[in-house]
Amino acid sequence: MPTISVGRDRLFAAIGKTYTREEFEGLCFRFGIELDDVSTEKAIIRKEKHLEEEEDGDDEEVLYKIEVPANRYDLLCLEGIAQALRIFNGLQEMPTYKVVNISRKSMIKMHVKPETSSIRPYVLCAVLRGIKFDEVTYNSFIDLQDKLHQNICRRRTLVAIGTHDLDTLHGPFTYEALPPSSINFVPLKQEKNFRADELMGFYKSDLKLKKFLHIIENSPVFPVIYDYKRTVLSLPPIINGAHSAITLKTKNVFIECTATDLTKAKIVLNTVVTTFSEYCERKFEIEPVEVIYSDGKSVVYPDLSFYNMEVPLSYITGAIGVPLEADEVTSLLNRMQLCAKQSVSGDCNSNITVSVPPTRNDVLHPCDVMEDVAIAYGYNNIKDITIAKGYNVSKGRAVSLKPLRLEEFSHLIRLEMAMCGFTEVLSFILCSLNDNFAMLNHEGDSSNAVIIENPRSSENETARTSLMPGILKTIGQNKAHPKPIKIFEVGDIVLLDESTDVGATNRRQLAALYCGATAGYEIIHGLVERIMLVIGLVPPDDNTTFYLKPSDDPEFVMGTQASIIYKGKRIGTSGIVHPEVLNKFDIPDPCAYFELSIQCFF
Amino acid sequence: MAEEAILGYLAKNQEIADSGEFAAQHGLNHDDVVNVVKSLHGFRYVDAQDIKRETWVLTDEGKTYAASGSPEVQLFLAIPPEGIPLEELQKKLDPLLFKIGRAQAAKNKWVEMGKQLVSRKVQHVDDTVKDLLLQIEGGKVINQDDIKVLKGRKLIATQTWNGYSVRKGPEYAPQRKKFAADLTREMLQSGEWKNLEFKEYNFNAKGQPIEGGHLHPLNKVRHQLRMIFLQMGFEEMPTDRFVESSFWNFDALFQPQQHPARDSHDTFYMKVPAITKELPEDYVERVKRVHESGGYGSRGYEYDWNRDEAIKNLLRTHTTAISTRMLYLLAQKPFTPKRYFSIDRVFRNEAVDRTHLAEFHQIEGLICDKGLTLGDLIGVLHDFFSRLGMSKLRFKPAYNPYTEPSMEIFSYHEGFGKWVEVGNSGMFRPEMLLPMGLPEDVRVIAWGLSLERPTMILYGINNIRDLFGHKVDLGLIKTNPICRLGVD
């Protein structure tokens, strides 16, 4: 979930109401955002106690960190949150965003060269006229672009935003893709001219920008935007030119979004222009830009059209479980920034016509509308109506359930092991290849293990193929525990398996270890027999069911180890743990161990 | 011996007036008598009164003289009848002995200290000092003048003598009863137990630690949760499938391919086996369409869905991958309502800290039926969480790609004095359910939470590594109380 930082007083001024911290938390909770942190809490306490003294001259700004839902790009800045809460509180009507009606001829134009299709095919533009920035709104404007870049733009891979002082530029503009060596400009925050390929090298050491270099680095051509006078506006998605940088004095802002994903680019452009059109001379009006492709096709952006949805009232009330009239539903929706009207269809079933504004791209389906009704109604107002009824699955029919044999059987085995005086441990599935193989004297033998491609640490290279590494690590960590130590684990291992759809399969295993003054293999032997007995198999007089057969596994001492054979198949291993293995796991005391697959018993 | 003598004597006599005299009369060691009296007094067989007496004992010097004679006599005997030069005499005796002997002998006027010779003045002397010392050593009483002299010469010193006068006590018996420490098989067989009284057990001491087997705390909580789900009529899903395809983990859940959760920063992808070979192709086609262009009343995400992304294998990031498979299977048959649950391991490629590990257990419950409402979800959440001891709940709107509405579940924690998030819930999106082939009026309400967090709160464990994994102290597992979730 994205978190944004806003000045509390500024936010309250924008909402048009002052809250105590608890009141504001309550409002956030109802609306579905979260007050995550208050960065200068001391100041708040002081203010609450000495309200008069603080009226003027406290330079300590109280910051609210607010967590917003990952699909609400319109809430990624103060302006968006304030507007949403104003409307939610009924303090404001929904604004109507307008694209200024100008002729195609007088529109600013962006010409797209065909070479861009190989690297970053889309560009979308718009203009905000007569904007008035102050320091706070300017910073908010920059922060919003940052937040969009981090979230919906997927760190600029899908979309990158460039904003420019239009009065420093001369249209029409061109969006091109050129060999890096032929692009020269002074980038933002620099004074000297760079060639694009040199610039990439220069930014290798830039903490912020180096993360984005990979997006175009290996391409023979770099995307670049020029104005009519060949001034570089930007080298997307890396950096803007210094020439057209916006400042506090900028009046007319040219916004370009370059993208590999058109849908997301539209959302990003719409989010930036709608949010900041509030500061335009003509509030909520945005000037369009015509984007012209080399084949003559042209599109005018931004597209601020509403998306219309017909939602049956019965769907909304049926899913929420609260009887609501159509007019109640429409007014609830209006509080969530969705324009809603009751449309009477021929029969008695009334429909709600919902117009989704360009700021609410999260609304994909009537279920999103239904959720907004529920939020505006109040999730916590729903329970009183339906709690007594309870959940109505199966409508009173008796249900007869089957147990899950794997889990029930495992549970019984675990109880049996504990009854034998063994203590259960729970170790990790993830481990290193070294733990799983070399540490057990199985160097270079990882043929049956799955391998993780992107582990953060060596501890997460593979999923265990036996319970042994986890159990031995537990003993290594519990050296001071009084002897004898008797532990067991029932858990899954993962093995490669060609016969399954994904190519791997889980196997449920049982393992136990005895550690004392002597290895005590006879105890482990007895335990194997005990488990076989309680499973219902007679001890090894009858070789047709199960028996122990001498083995030569490298993790055990030769001569004191045996495979566990069931119905002619090897289902497990047992033996005195090899001193080299003990040494690798830093275990000073002798141990005996067994492990078997219990998968074959159910 | 001493005990029999004392109890026997008191059977016939009122009192033992002086334990010292009693010991002497009966030929007993007085220390033994004292110990027995103390013990009998403790068990109230006798009442004992302290007696304190001062007696004279020999000092170390006194003991030497009692053995070898007083210095003055030794000096006298060292002088031959014809006399002896002073230097010669001095050589024959220990210097200290000579010094004391000369002074005393002179005082007694036994010797003549001439210029040339030292000679005897009397022919015979008695060693009265030695005799007196021997008398004192033998416990005899001597007259006060002699005492004064010996005390002045530091040959005797006072010693406090402790003894008792003893009478019958309230529990007097001529013979002490035996107390048994434990009941034995022999006592039962011989019938001896009838005569036995048992030694009072010390209830302040610790009992003997009990050896036995133990279940892991996390699995104990897991078992109680399974019981709760079963009691609520939920069926357990088979979750023994850690390696999953992106398709079942993400795509089938209407989670777009650019979603941050699908980043390698959050998800473990598989190098081996890298891809899934088999997917239900007609279903895959419907999932692709709903992502790209919607349908079922949805706009879709409007992007190019890539099959190569969907077949990438991963370690499942949630058990909802299994729920999705189960719902898909359900959709292939004529519809029957279901309640499903699972509690199993999931994996996240996240930074680990005190409360996060790369693997943990997810608890998940879902109900699939026609006509379910948000009210039903709230109802079942109240039922479930109140069984976990959380009866005060409230719900916060949230975002989740595959549920709409989505509700975060908060519970009021009395100990922390605040609302804490305890889980997530919602209704599965139609874009997830309808491509499976479920009827349009079927809704699925579901919720999930981790097993570790409530367990840590329940047992007051602050670091997740103290609860789960190989660093857990076996002592913790052995002393962990039973889990009473769903019982109280």
User: Got the DSSP string for A583-599?
Assistant: HHTT--S-EEEEEEE-G
Whether residue A217 sits in one domain with residue A182: yes
Closest Cβ opposite residue A424 in set B216, B264, B407 = B216
B residues 315..354 contacting A (CB < 8 A)? 315, 337, 339, 345, 347, 349-351
Residue finishing a domain among A267, A301, A335: A301
| Residue A41 forms part of a structural domain | yes
**Contact yes or no for A217/A232 (Cβ under 8 A):** no
Q: What is the CATH number of the domain that holds A328?
A: 3.30.56.10
Helix axes A326-335, A366-377, angle to 10 degrees: 90
Query: Which amino acid type is present at position B39?
Result: S
Residue finishing a domain among A56, A88, A120: A88
CA distance, residue A427 to nearest chain B CA (Å): 4
**Closest-CA residue to A98 (of A329, A280, A346):** A280
Please list every residue in chain B whose beta carbon sits closer than 8 Å to the beta carbon of residue A505.
241, 243
Cβ contact B468–A426 (<8 Å): yes
Q: What is the pLDDT of residue B100?
A: 86
Please list every residue in chain A whose beta carbon sits closer than 8 Å to the beta carbon of residue B358.
428, 430, 456, 459-460
Whether residue A269 sits in one domain with residue A225: yes
**Closest-CA residue to A199 (of A233, A238, A168):** A238
Please list every residue in chain A whose beta carbon sits closer than 8 Å to the beta carbon of residue B240.
406, 492, 506, 508
Cβ contact B373–A422 (<8 Å): no
Q: What is the CATH number of the domain that holds A439?
A: 3.30.930.10
- Does residue B317 sit in helix, strand or coil? coil
**Closest-CA residue to B320 (of B249, B240, B380):** B249
- Does residue B250 sit in helix, strand or coil? coil
CA distance, residue B203 to nearest chain A CA (Å): 26
CA distance, residue B471 to nearest chain A CA (Å): 6
> Degrees (nearest 5) of the Cα angle A8, A9, A14?
100
Whether residue A42 sits in one domain with residue A146: no
Please list every residue in chain B whose beta carbon sits closer than 8 Å to the beta carbon of residue A511.
none
The lowest-confidence range among A291-295, A446-450, B86-90, B382-386 is B86-90
The Cα A383–Cα B382 span in angstroms is: 9
Residue A438 has what DSSP assignment?
G
pLDDT level of residue A56 (50, 70, 90 thresholds): very low
The pTM is what?
A: 0.82
| Residue A508 forms part of a structural domain | yes
pLDDT level of residue A77 (50, 70, 90 thresholds): very high
Residue B400 has what DSSP assignment?
B
Cβ contact B359–A429 (<8 Å): yes
Report, as an integer, the average pLDDT of A110-123: 95
Q: DSSP 3-state helix, strand, coil percentages of chain A (rounded to 5)?
A: 35, 25, 40
Give Cα separations from B224 to A73, A411, A502, B455, B488 (angstroms): 42, 12, 32, 11, 12
Whether residue A107 sits in one domain with residue A249: yes
pLDDT digits (tens, 9 = 90+) for A297-306: 999 999 999 9
Task: Identify the domain containing residue A325 by its residue range.
Answer: 307-388
CA distance, residue B265 to nearest chain A CA (Å): 8
Cβ contact B242–A429 (<8 Å): yes
Please list every residue in chain A whose beta carbon sits closer than 8 Å to the beta carbon of residue B245.
501-502
The Cα B450–Cα B428 span in angstroms is: 19
**Contact yes or no for A238/A224 (Cβ under 8 A):** no
The Cα A494–Cα A452 span in angstroms is: 12
Closest Cβ opposite residue A423 in set B240, B260, B477 = B477
pLDDT digits (tens, 9 = 90+) for B111-133: 887 777 888 888 888 888 888 88
| Residue A454 forms part of a structural domain | yes
Q: A439 burial class (0-12, 13-18, 19+ CB within 10 angstroms)?
A: buried
Q: What is the pLDDT of residue B398?
A: 95
| Residue A117 forms part of a structural domain | yes
Closest Cβ opposite residue A504 in set B226, B243, B371 = B243
Q: What is the dihedral of CA B301, B303, B309, B310, to 10 degrees?
A: 40
Tokens of A272: 């930036």
Q: Are strands A239-240 and A232-235 parallel, antiparallel or unpaired?
A: antiparallel
Total structural domains within chain A: 4
**Contact yes or no for A241/A231 (Cβ under 8 A):** yes
Q: What is the pLDDT of residue B392?
A: 92
pLDDT digits (tens, 9 = 90+) for A165-202: 999 999 899 999 999 999 999 999 999 999 999 999 99
B residues 440..469 contacting A (CB < 8 A)? 443, 445, 468-469
Helix residue ranges per DSSP H, A66-173? 78-88, 135-150
Whether residue A311 sits in one domain with residue A290: no
Cβ contact A364–B351 (<8 Å): no
| Residue A93 forms part of a structural domain | no
Non-local (6+) Cβ contacts of B341 within 8 A are B226, B229, B234, B235, B236, B237, B363, B364, B365, B366
B residues 6..35 contacting A (CB < 8 A)? none
Substitution target from B245, B284, B373 for chain A, most A beta carbons within 10 A: B373
Please list every residue in chain B whose beta carbon sits closer than 8 Å to the beta carbon of residue A401.
230, 233-235
Asked if the model's pLDDT at residue A394 lies above 80, the reply is no
| Residue A250 forms part of a structural domain | yes
pLDDT digits (tens, 9 = 90+) for A457-508: 999 999 999 999 999 999 999 999 999 999 999 999 999 999 999 999 999 9
Whether residue A195 sits in one domain with residue A171: yes
Q: What is the pLDDT of residue B60?
A: 87
CA distance, residue B274 to nearest chain A CA (Å): 8
Closest Cβ opposite residue B397 in set A375, A450, A492 = A375
Q: Does B295 touch chain A (CB under 8 A)?
A: no
The lowest-confidence range among A243-247, A398-402, B326-330, B378-382 is A398-402
Give the Cβ contact number of residue A230 at 10 Å. Answer: 9
Give Cα separations from B362 to A228, B341, B345, B454, B487 (angstroms): 58, 10, 6, 11, 22
Cβ contact B430–A365 (<8 Å): yes
Report, as an integer, the average pLDDT of A364-383: 94
Residue finishing a domain among A88, A111, A136: A88
Whether residue A409 sits in one domain with residue A373: no
Sign, CA dihedral A536-A539-A545-A547, equals positive
| Residue A395 forms part of a structural domain | no
| Residue A216 forms part of a structural domain | yes
Whether residue A551 sits in one domain with residue A490: yes
The Cα B86–Cα A264 span in angstroms is: 130
User: Could you please report the per-residue DSSP string of A513-532?
Assistant: EEESSS--HHHHHHHHHHHH
What is the complex's ipTM, to 2 decimals?
0.90
pLDDT level of residue A43 (50, 70, 90 thresholds): low
CA atoms within 13 A on the CB side of A584: 19
Give the Cβ contact number of residue B21 at 10 Å. Answer: 12
The Cα A481–Cα B473 span in angstroms is: 8
Non-local (6+) Cβ contacts of A582 within 8 A are A472, A588, A589, A590, A591
Q: Does B269 touch chain A (CB under 8 A)?
A: yes
Please list every residue in chain B whose beta carbon sits closer than 8 Å to the beta carbon of residue A30.
396-397
Cβ contact B359–A428 (<8 Å): yes
Q: What is the CATH number of the domain that holds A182?
A: 3.50.40.10
- The CATH superfamily of B218-479 is Bira Bifunctional Protein; Domain 2 (3.30.930.10)
Q: Does B379 touch chain A (CB under 8 A)?
A: yes
Whether residue A556 sits in one domain with residue A530: yes
Non-local (6+) Cβ contacts of B436 within 8 A are B252, B283, B327, B328, B331
Tens-digit pLDDT string for chain B (488 aa): 788 888 888 888 889 988 888 888 888 898 888 998 888 888 888 898 998 888 888 888 888 888 888 888 888 888 888 888 888 888 888 888 888 888 888 888 888 877 778 888 888 888 888 888 888 888 787 888 888 888 888 888 888 888 899 998 888 888 877 788 889 999 999 998 888 888 888 899 999 988 899 999 999 999 999 999 999 999 999 999 999 999 999 999 999 998 888 888 899 999 999 999 999 999 999 999 999 999 999 999 999 999 999 999 999 999 999 999 999 999 999 999 999 999 999 999 988 888 899 999 999 999 999 989 999 999 999 999 999 999 899 999 999 999 999 999 999 988 888 999 999 999 999 999 999 999 999 999 999 999 999 999 888 899 999 999 999 999 999 999 999 998 87
Q: What is the pLDDT of residue A49?
A: 63
Which residues is B411 bridged to in the sheet?
B393, B420
Please identify, in words, the CATH class of the domain defined by B1-70+127-176. alpha beta
The Cα A516–Cα A582 span in angstroms is: 13
Q: DSSP 3-state helix, strand, coil percentages of chain B (rounded to 5)?
A: 40, 25, 40
Whether residue A327 sits in one domain with residue A283: no
Residue extents of the structural domains in chain B: 1-70+127-176, 76-125, 218-479
The Cα B458–Cα B480 span in angstroms is: 11
Ramachandran bin of A293, using left for φ above 0, alpha for ψ from -120 to 50, beta for the remaining angles:
beta
Cα A157 from chain centre: 16
Whether residue A129 sits in one domain with residue A227: yes
Higher-confidence position of A48 and B457: B457
Give Cα separations from B277 to A173, B241, B283 (angstroms): 48, 16, 15
Please list every residue in chain B whose beta carbon sits closer than 8 Å to the beta carbon of residue A414.
215, 219
Helix axes A405-419, A521-535, angle to 10 degrees: 140
**Closest-CA residue to B343 (of B149, B485, B198):** B485
Asked if the model's pLDDT at residue A286 lies above 90, the reply is yes
Closest Cβ opposite residue B270 in set A264, A401, A453 = A453
Containing A45, the helix (H) or strand (E) segment is helix A41-49
Q: What is the pLDDT of residue A539?
A: 62
CA distance, residue A544 to nearest chain B CA (Å): 30
Q: What is the pLDDT of residue B420?
A: 92
Substitution target from B221, B224, B242, B306 for chain A, most A beta carbons within 10 A: B242
CA distance, residue B201 to nearest chain A CA (Å): 28
Whether residue A442 sits in one domain with residue A357: no
